[in-house]
Structure 1
Amino acid sequence: MADLEALVDQVLSIDDSKSRHEVLADLKFTKNAETTINRIFDGQFLKGTSLDLLKRQQSSNDALIILDSDEEQESADLLQDDLFSSKQPQDLVELDDLPSLPVKKASPVVLTTDVLEVNSSLSKQSYDLLDLDDLPSLSQKELSPKNLDYHEFDSLPSTHDFFDQLISQKRDRPIVEIDDDEDEPLTNPNGKRKTTDDMVSSREKKRLEVDERKQQKADAAEAKRIQKEQKALEKQRLKEQKQLEKEKTVLLEKENRLRLDRTQILQEMLIDIHPQFLQSKPGQLLEALLKSKEAHLRDLTTYETLPNYTIGWRRRCQSEWDQNSQAFVPLETTKIVKEPVVLIYLDTLTFINHLQADTLDQLVNSLERPGRQIMMLIEGLEGYYKKKMLITRRAFASQVLQTTTTNTKKKSNSINQAISEGPGKEEVEETLNYLQLMRHVMLVTTKDAQDTASWIESLTIDLGLGRYKSKNLNNSFKVSKCGHDAHDTFFKMLQEVQLCTPAIATSIMSHYPTLQSLHQAYQSTQTTSEAELMLADLEVERSALQIRDRKINRVMSRKMYTIFNSQDPEQIIY
C-alpha cells in the first residue's frame, strides 16, 4: 500500500486534475505510474477499473447530462429548454463560461467523451458534475442572459481537440522523474508526451552515456594495468638493485682478501718481453714456464718503439684503493695499469764489456724515469768468478812450467781470453755496490738460464703481491655478519681475533658477558702485566676429542689485552 501511495503522489505531482481516490483506483489496475499518466492523457483514465463499472451503472439509473460528441445538438437543446423555458432559444453556451453557481454535488461520473472547460475564474476549483434534478433549483436571476456569456458554435469540439485545449490552458508544472533508472522525464514542460525525436535523442543520450561509462571503465582498467606494470617494474628494479648490492658486497670481499695463490697473482699480470730475449735460451725457458701457469705474455715492441730494456709489467686492475675506507673498491670495467718497474737482462760478458767501456752509467741514465725502479739481472756472474780464478791458476801454472819445458803455443779461446783480460772480483763488486747505493739499481744475479727464468717468475709474483702488501699488510679484510643481539655480536667480535675459537669466546663471555664488563675488568687491574694475564688460565670447555680440560694461554690473553687497550692504530698484532 505504501508503494501505491508513493505512485499516487508521483501522478498527482504531474497532473492534479484527478482525485486521489480515482488515481489510486487506476493504479490498482495498472500497477504503474507511467501507464496511469498515459491513460490520463489518452482519455483512458479509470477504464476497466471498479470505479468505471460503478459509474456506468449509476449513469444508467440517474438522469445525468452526458455530453457525447455523437449527440451534441440534442444535449444542447435539452439544456436550453430546461434553463430558458420562457424565452426565445439562444445560441448554445459553454457551461465552463458560467459564473460560479451554487449547485449540489452529485456522484462523480467519468466523462467518456467530452470534458467541460471551466472558466478562468473557476480554474482553481475542482470539477463538479451537474445532476438534472438540481438544475430547476437554480434561480432565474442566476440563469438570466445577463449573467451568462454566450458563444455560438455550430458543433461541439471533438474529444481530442477539447482535451488538447484543456491541456494547453494548464499551468506549467515542474517535471518530476518517476523512475530513477530513466534519465529523461516522460513529459516536456508543456505537459505533453515527448515526441519520437525526443525519445530518440533520449536513447541516443543514454547510449552516449553508456559508451562514456564503458570508456571510463576501459580507462580505469588501463590505468590499473599501467599502475600494475609500474609496480612490477619497481619490484623488479628493487630486486635487481638488491642483487647488484649483493654482488658488490661479494666483489668487495673478494677484492680485499689476502692474495695467497701465486698462480692467481701471476694470471693478473701482463708480462711484456723483448722479442730478442725470447729467442735466447733463458727467454724460451721463461716462456714455457709462464705459459704452463696461464700467464699472459706480450711483445714489448707492440707498446714501445725501440725499448732499451728487456721486460716490463702491466697489471689488469679490477679494483682501486680507496683512501677513505682503507679498502679496495671494485671497478665496473677492467683497468690496465703499467707497473713502474723495468728489468734489463745482461749476461756476464755484456756486463764486463760495459764495465770495461765505462758505459754502465750511460745505460742506467737511458732507463731512468721519474718514479721508475730499475732492476738489473746479471746471469753467470759466479761462473765468471770461478772461470777467472781458474784461468789465473792455469796461467800461473803455465808460467811455472815454462821454466822447465819448451814453450809451446796453444790456440786460445776468445771467451777465456776475455775472461782472463776482464776485471777481477773486487772491481766487479765495487761496481755493483756503486749501482746499488748511488744509482738505486736493484741487482739480481743468477747462475744459469734455468735460474734466470725462475727468478723472473718470482719477481713477477712478488711484484703482483706488492700492491696488496703495501695496503693491507697483515690485515685480513672480510665483511662479517652482524649478530642478532648484543650478546651474539660480542660473541662474533671475539672470534674475529686470530686463533680465538668459539670455545675460547664462550669461556671469556662466561666471566665477562659484555664488552663493558671486560673493559671495566681491565681498568680495575693495578699493573699492565696483570691486565695482560687477566684472561690466562680461564678454563675452556673440553671438546669430545680431548681427554682433559684446557685453558686460555698467555699469548691469547696478551693479544686480547692489546686489541682492546692499544692506542696505536698502526700496531701489528701477531
Structure 2
Amino acid sequence: MTDSFEKLKNDKELQIMAIEVQAICSEKSFEEILVDLHKTRNAELTINRIFDGNFLEGTRFDTLKKSKFSFPIHLLDEKDDASSCVHQVHVLNQENPNIGDDIANQRCQRKNDNINEEGINRIKEVEKLERKTQKEQQRLERKKQKEEREAEKKRLKQIQEVNKTKYDKFELCRELILDISNNLSEKNLVDYLRDNPKYTLLTINVVQHDFPNIIKWRRKITAEWDDEFCAFMPAPERIQEESFLLIYFEISEFTKFIKDDILSDNINKIQETFSSKRIIILIEGYESYCRRRKTQINRNFTNAVRSGIEHDLEEELLWLQVIAKCLIVHTKNIQDTAEMIGILSADIATIPYKNRNCDLNFWAEGQVRSGTDPSNTWLRMLQEIQFVTEPVARGIINVYPTVRSLYKAYQRCLTREEAENLLTSVETSVEKII
C-alpha cells in the first residue's frame, strides 16, 4: 500500500489536481483525494463525487467508507503481537460505535446544503432574468411610445402641409400630368410648353391615342378631402384622371370636317368613348380666318367658302356649344395654342381647392350659418372667404382672435404688398379638429 501511495504521489498531474480539490474540500485528506483522482482522473468529477457522497466509490477504500465500522490498518513489525492489534481495534470500535452513521449523515447534510445552495442560486438567476426581461420590455415600450409620438407629430405636420393655402396656380401644376397625342408633337407644341418657364412644373408625356389631336390631364393625388374634419388629409400617392379632354383643330381641318359633314359624327364618337369627360375644342387660326373672310384679303378663299361654309360654320359652332356642351377656345398660332393649354392646365390644377369651402356664398334667406358664440361666428365668417378652409381659419384666429384685431393689423400695414403678405406667416391649425 505504501508503494502504491508513493506511486500516486510521484504522479505530478494527480498532485496538481489533488491540490485543487483539497483547496475546495479541505476536510478530505490528501491521500484519499489522490486515490479518488486515480479513479476519476478529473478534479471536477472528484469534487462532484465528494458533494454527492460518492467519494472513493469504486476505489480500494470503497468498502471501508460504506461500512458502519472503521478498521484502521496497521503494518505489523516482526516484534508486534497480533493479539494486541486486535485489542486496539476492539477499543476503537467501542469508542466510536456509530462512526459509519455519522459519516453518512454528514454526506446527506452536505448534499442537502448543496441542493439548497443550488436552489437559491437558481432562484437568483430567475429573478435576475425577470428583471432583465422587465427592463427590456420597458425599453421597448418607451421606444414604441417615442415612435408613436414621432409618427403623430409627422402626421400633424403632413396635415398642416397639405392644408396650406394654395394661391399660385402655376405652383399647383406640379400635380398635373399632361398626356399629348404623338401627332401633335410634330407641331412643336411640346417644345413650346417645355420652354415656357411658367409651366416647367408640368409633367408632359407624348402618348399614342386612339383618336388624333387629343390632350388629356391626370393628377398626382397626395391628399384627399375629409368632410368630417373639413380639411385635406394625407393619402398614399396615386394617379387619377381629370374630367377634361381637349381636341385640337386647325381651322382648315375644322372647315373641312364641316364641308364633309362629319364634324358632329366625330364629336359624338369621342363623347361616347370618353363619356365621363367634358370636351374642350381648341380651334387654331379661327380669328385670322374670320379677318381674311371679312377683309377679303384672299378673295379666292373667301369666294370658295363664303357661299356654303359661312352659315354652316356658325351653325356648327352653335351646335358644339349648345347641344354637345363643348367649351370652345380660339387661338392664333401654335405658340398661342401652347400658352392656352398651359393656362387651361393651371386652371384645372386649382379645381380641387376652389371647390372646398372657398366659394363666396351670398346671403339668402335660410342660408346664413350662425355661430354659437363670437369666436365661432368669427371662425365661420373667415370660412366664407375664398381659399380659407377651417384649418386656415383657425390659424388666423390663433393670431387675430377678433375681427377688430385683424382690421387694426391691416391698418398698421404701410404698403399694399405688406397687407397682402400679412397672413402668409400664419400657421395652419389642425390639432383642434382632429
For the aligned pair, the TM-score class normalised by the smaller chain equals 0.5 to 0.7
Cα distance in 1 for partners of 2:247, 2:340 equals: 13
What corresponds to 1:257 in structure 2? 164
What corresponds to 1:237 in structure 2? 144
What corresponds to 1:364 in structure 2? 267
C-alpha contact 2:194 2:200 (8 A) present in aligned 1? no
What corresponds to 1:423 in structure 2? 309
Cα distance in 2 for partners of 1:270, 1:161 equals: 111
C-alpha distance after superposition, 1:132-168 (max 9, x if no partner): xxxxxxxxxxxxxxxxxxxxxxxxxx87777778xxx
**Aligned residues between the structures:** 298
- For 2:112, the aligned partner's letter is K
Cα distance in 2 for partners of 1:259, 1:418 equals: 51
Larger Rg: 1
Q: CA deviation at 1:290?
A: 7.0
Q: CA deviation at 1:476?
A: 2.0
Q: Answer yes or no: is 1:220 the counterpart of 2:124.
A: no
Higher relative contact order (Cα pairs below 8 Å, separated by 6+ residues): 2
Alignment match of 1:206 (pick from 106, 110, 113): 113
Q: CA deviation at 1:454?
A: 0.8
**1:118-517 alignment to 2 at 5 Å?**
195-289=102-196, 293-301=200-208, 306-331=210-235, 333-368=236-271, 369-391=274-296, 395=299, 423-424=309-310, 427-473=312-358, 474-477=386-389, 479=391, 492=397, 495=400, 500-501=405-406
C-alpha distance after superposition, 1:104-127 (max 9, x if no partner): xxxxxxxxxxxxxxxxxxxxxxxx
What corresponds to 2:427 in structure 1? none
Q: CA deviation at 1:262?
A: 2.6
Q: CA deviation at 1:416?
A: 7.3
Q: CA deviation at 1:496?
A: 5.4
C-alpha contact 2:249 2:284 (8 A) present in aligned 1? yes
SS in 1 for 2:210: coil
C-alpha contact 2:179 2:216 (8 A) present in aligned 1? yes
SS in 2 for 1:501: helix
TM-score after normalising by structure 1? 0.46
C-alpha distance after superposition, 1:259-297 (max 9, x if no partner): 222332111101111111011033431233379613211
- For 1:250, the aligned partner's letter is K
Cα distance in 1 for partners of 2:281, 2:197 equals: 20
C-alpha distance after superposition, 1:306-325 (max 9, x if no partner): 23451101111011222333
SS in 2 for 1:328: strand
C-alpha contact 2:185 2:206 (8 A) present in aligned 1? no
- Note the residue ranges of structure 2 that are not aligned, 5 or more in a row: 1-89, 359-385, 415-434
- For 1:435, the aligned partner's letter is L
C-alpha distance after superposition, 1:449-469 (max 9, x if no partner): 111111100111111110111
Cα distance in 1 for partners of 2:150, 2:101 equals: 70
Cα distance in 1 for partners of 2:291, 2:220 equals: 43
- Note the residue ranges of structure 1 that are not aligned, 5 or more in a row: 1-157, 166-190, 396-411, 484-490, 505-539, 546-574
Cα distance in 2 for partners of 1:544, 1:340 equals: 42
CA 1:313/1:210 → structure 2, altered by over 3 Å: closer, same or farther? same
CA 1:199/1:492 → structure 2, altered by over 3 Å: closer, same or farther? farther
C-alpha contact 2:199 2:342 (8 A) present in aligned 1? no
CA 1:444/1:206 → structure 2, altered by over 3 Å: closer, same or farther? same
- For 1:433, the aligned partner's letter is L
CA 1:373/1:278 → structure 2, altered by over 3 Å: closer, same or farther? same
- For 1:453, the aligned partner's letter is A
- For 1:259, the aligned partner's letter is K
C-alpha contact 2:231 2:391 (8 A) present in aligned 1? no
Q: CA deviation at 1:250?
A: 1.5
User: Please, what is the CA RMSD of the aligned residues?
Assistant: 3.6
Cα distance in 1 for partners of 2:393, 2:284 equals: 52
Cα distance in 1 for partners of 2:321, 2:307 equals: 25
SS in 1 for 2:276: coil
CA 1:370/1:497 → structure 2, altered by over 3 Å: closer, same or farther? farther
C-alpha contact 2:165 2:392 (8 A) present in aligned 1? no
- For 2:248, the aligned partner's letter is Y
C-alpha contact 2:280 2:327 (8 A) present in aligned 1? yes
Cα distance in 2 for partners of 1:423, 1:384 equals: 12
Q: CA deviation at 1:201?
A: 3.3
Cα distance in 2 for partners of 1:421, 1:290 equals: 45
Q: CA deviation at 1:251?
A: 1.4
What corresponds to 1:98 in structure 2? none
C-alpha contact 1:273 1:299 (8 A) present in aligned 2? yes
Cα distance in 2 for partners of 1:480, 1:227 equals: 46
Moved over 4 A (4+): 158-165, 191-194, 415-422, 478-483, 491-494, 496-499, 542-545
CA 1:445/1:203 → structure 2, altered by over 3 Å: closer, same or farther? same
CA 1:269/1:277 → structure 2, altered by over 3 Å: closer, same or farther? same
C-alpha contact 2:193 2:199 (8 A) present in aligned 1? no
